Amino acid sequence: VSAGIVTLLTDFGLRDGYVGAVKGALLSRNPRLRLVDVSHDLEPGDVTAAAWALRQSAPAFPPGCVHLVVVDPGVGGERRGLACRSGSQLFVAPDNGVLHWILGDAPIVRSLAVADSASPVFHGRDVFAPAAAALAAGAALEPLGPGVEPDSLVRLPFAPAERGGDTWRGTVVHVDRFGNAITDLELPADVRGVAEVTGRAVPLRRTYSDVADGEPVALRGSSDTLELSCNGSSAARSLGIGLGDVIVFRVD
Amino acid sequence: VSAGIVTLLTDFGLRDGYVGAVKGALLSRNPRLRLVDVSHDLEPGDVTAAAWALRQSAPAFPPGCVHLVVVDPGVGGERRGLACRSGSQLFVAPDNGVLHWILGDAPIVRSLAVADSASPVFHGRDVFAPAAAALAAGAALEPLGPGVEPDSLVRLPFAPAERGGDTWRGTVVHVDRFGNAITDLELPADVRGVAEVTGRAVPLRRTYSDVADGEPVALRGSSDTLELSCNGSSAARSLGIGLGDVIVFRVD
Amino acid sequence: VSAGIVTLLTDFGLRDGYVGAVKGALLSRNPRLRLVDVSHDLEPGDVTAAAWALRQSAPAFPPGCVHLVVVDPGVGGERRGLACRSGSQLFVAPDNGVLHWILGDAPIVRSLAVADSASPVFHGRDVFAPAAAALAAGAALEPLGPGVEPDSLVRLPFAPAERGGDTWRGTVVHVDRFGNAITDLELPADVRGVAEVTGRAVPLRRTYSDVADGEPVALRGSSDTLELSCNGSSAARSLGIGLGDVIVFRVD
């Protein structure tokens, strides 16, 4: 079943007409589509941020939604365009790592055919939007292009999180606008422990206000992963951590 | 009657997946909801700006709309989550002052029950969105949680505007992106007078272009309140005024 | 036929309630309208950027869409408000040049009547939104106000592009968020040639990645016009070009 919903996640910003052009291309294929903006102000070309924003948002949507991602510095070059079904959700995106965290156990992936008429500098409008509109209308993945081995997809250069024994390890994969440093280490709901951050022990608490203003705190974040925060300020800045840093979590 | 419309006003910014997660949570409850973005780039935690943005926008909507506000620095702590009917509009928001200007004469307010499964760091997605979806589908307020005395709600620390005699007083409650300094002093449509701003008399005119470029002007703004502007530049900067400053208005 | 779709392009930004107020005014007239955000973070008063964003986005939409533009530094003054049909699309905007690039051969234009009750500082909400809602519901242009001669409309101060002989000329009309310098010189799909930029010959290629990282390249952009880019960085900065600069294109 298709929900007729297409979400949009791009690095187009909000002072050009590109977001509008993609929306127009979607609605031209199907004026009944329901378009949902996720974010458009990602740093230009920031594939990692897009991948995590997708991980944060897509699981909340009802089955059959199509998630269109246009963060595409390689547009018009060798990189493939993809249509993908993972679990109950559908994705249309360039093959540059943006699907890193949402690929489940057995995704079905196709490589999008590119029409001669497509602008080589705007696949978001001319290749991805038509594919997303078709999927949102209930079309099958198969006619969109040849099959792709999931193992051949571009991945982001993050080692998988480790949860062996009582010393777990995750990597900071995103720093959000509030300065929270978010890792990919999934925490069970009832775990207890302490994060080690640049030599400092930061205890796991329930929420920001469980520590005093400005104090660091470890949390099970809203994507169920370990997160370092400071109540009322930037944890990334005050703890001196950033993207790619490995955080150790010692289970009690 | 419900319009099936939910507006969104947050400080989540446009480079993370949080706005998308809230939208997904809304659409998961009811895929037919119609979502309307108001603003997402409020300064993190700026409750006053959110409260005024709500005052600027909510009255323009048709009856039965649900206005969802997630500017929530106290998430997971002691502050209550609220569902509120004021006039013909519905509101879902934290109890932190954000409803300051839209509470009418006899609002009906409930404190939102929080399910055990809700993430203590993301009530926007797990507590407020489900409540907003229910209200937009026509559900009653009462089942959402226990009743709240309107007098017990958190208010912003602004003294009410004064309109006694011919010396009126208002407070600058917002400086908008154009640099207009907006007060909470409501002006009748036909009033005449002069604003006193840091010792300077600024006459009330009809619109920006009634004065020369760069000249300050007092206006009855679009929310029917006294506003200080400069044609083509920032009144807040050129007049040296900001949030919380009291402005005297002398009626002719 | 009306699509019931209204697009919004404003300089209201995303930290005030103005975008919400316009949307509320639209939905108050017709709760079934489908609202599509194009961009709201244009520089305040940047009519040229709005005009080009409209040129980039409007052609992608299905017939009968209404494009509402509120970049309106002259609000409340002498400038006219316009409703316009050009080709299969409808536009509602101030008469300040914002329609410069979308006026086709025989646009039909009306000057919007302004009700006494309209706020003189917010025609976006009180004049343009009601007109856009009426048009999106299928209403005719004529009742909105008196007819306007297309020749009398305000235009932007750009000389038309020249394509005589083998030395063509265009003007940089926009620099986008990626630093691409976009001209108004339409290029046929199969043209070959070289752009001359501040004494330097920049060859026309198919897409960004046809040159090495950081190298400048000329492209047929997504609006089918000549565009100067740098793979992975800002062409405007590295080539030292900006809005209004004339670019020569030598056809092979």
- Read off the pLDDT band of C209 (50, 70, 90): confident
Q: What is the mean pLDDT of residues A182-198?
A: 96
Count of CB pairs separated by less than 8 Å, A with B: 117
Would you state the pLDDT for residue A2?
65
Residue A158's nearest CA partner among A173, A168, A169 is A173
Residues C158-208 pLDDT 10s: 999 999 999 999 999 999 999 999 999 999 999 999 999 988 999 999 998
Q: Identify the three-state secondary structure at position C216.
A: strand
Residues B88-136 pLDDT 10s: 999 999 999 999 999 988 999 999 999 999 999 999 999 999 999 999 9
Residue of B nearest to A7 (CA): B20
The rounded radius of gyration (Å) of the Cα atoms in chain A is: 19
Does residue A188 carry a pLDDT above 90? yes
Nearest to B16 among A3, A56, A208 (CB): A56
Does residue C140 carry a pLDDT above 90? yes
Would you state the pLDDT for residue C180?
96
Cβ of B20: how many Cβ atoms within 10 Å?
A: 26
Would you state the pLDDT for residue C104?
86
Burial bucket for residue B151 (CB in 10 Å: 0-12, 13-18, 19+): exposed
Q: What is the mean pLDDT of residues C130-157?
A: 97
- Chain C environment of A27 (Cβ under 8 Å): 3, 5, 36, 61-62, 65
Nearest to C207 among A18, A28, A120 (CB): A120
Q: Could you give the CA distance from residue B116 to residue C169 in angstroms, rounded to a whole number?
A: 66
Does the interface ipTM go beyond 0.90? yes
- Read off the pLDDT band of A42 (50, 70, 90): very high
Distances (CA, A) of B122 to A77, A182, A210, B41, B127: 39, 14, 15, 18, 8
Nearest to C19 among B3, B39, B209 (CB): B39
Q: Could you give the CA distance from residue B130 to residue B30 in angstroms, rounded to a whole number?
A: 9
Contacting subunits of C (3+ beta carbon pairs below 8 A): A, B
Would you state the pLDDT for residue A1?
52
Contacts of C84 (CB under 8 A, 6+ apart): C90, C91, C92, C93, C99, C103, C107, C108, C109, C110, C141
Q: What is the mean pLDDT of residues C59-87?
A: 95
Q: Could you give the CA distance from residue B51 to residue A197 in angstroms, rounded to a whole number?
A: 37
Would you state the pLDDT for residue A200?
93
Does residue C82 carry a pLDDT above 70? yes
- Chain A environment of B35 (Cβ under 8 Å): 36
Please say whether the beta carbons of B124 and B72 come within 8 A: yes
Contacts of A22 (CB under 8 A, 6+ apart): A8, A10, A12, A68, A70, A124, A125, A128, A129, C60
Nearest to A77 among C53, C176, C209 (CB): C209
Would you state the pLDDT for residue C2?
65
Would you state the pLDDT for residue A214?
87
Does residue A91 carry a pLDDT above 90? yes
pTM given for the model: 0.97
Tell which of A187, A207, A228 to mutate to test the B interface (max B CBs under 10 Å).
Answer: A207
Which residues does chain B have with pLDDT short of 70?
Answer: 1-2
Q: Could you give the CA distance from residue A196 to residue B42 in angstroms, rounded to a whole number?
A: 33
Does residue A48 carry a pLDDT above 80? yes
Q: What is the mean pLDDT of residues C147-160?
A: 96
Q: What is the mean pLDDT of residues A23-35?
A: 97
- The DSSP output letter for C93 is E
Residues A49-81 pLDDT 10s: 999 999 999 999 999 999 999 999 988 889 999
Mean pLDDT of chain C: 95
- Chain B environment of A52 (Cβ under 8 Å): 17
- Read off the pLDDT band of C248 (50, 70, 90): very high
Would you state the pLDDT for residue B23?
98
Q: Could you give the CA distance from residue A117 to residue A127 in angstroms, rounded to a whole number?
A: 10
Contacting subunits of A (3+ beta carbon pairs below 8 A): B, C
Residue of A nearest to C227 (CA): A121
- Chain A environment of C9 (Cβ under 8 Å): 17, 20
Nearest to C21 among B37, B40, B57 (CB): B57
Q: What is the mean pLDDT of residues C115-119?
A: 95
Asked if C209 and A22 come within 8 Å (Cβ–Cβ), the reply is no
Mean pLDDT of chain A: 95
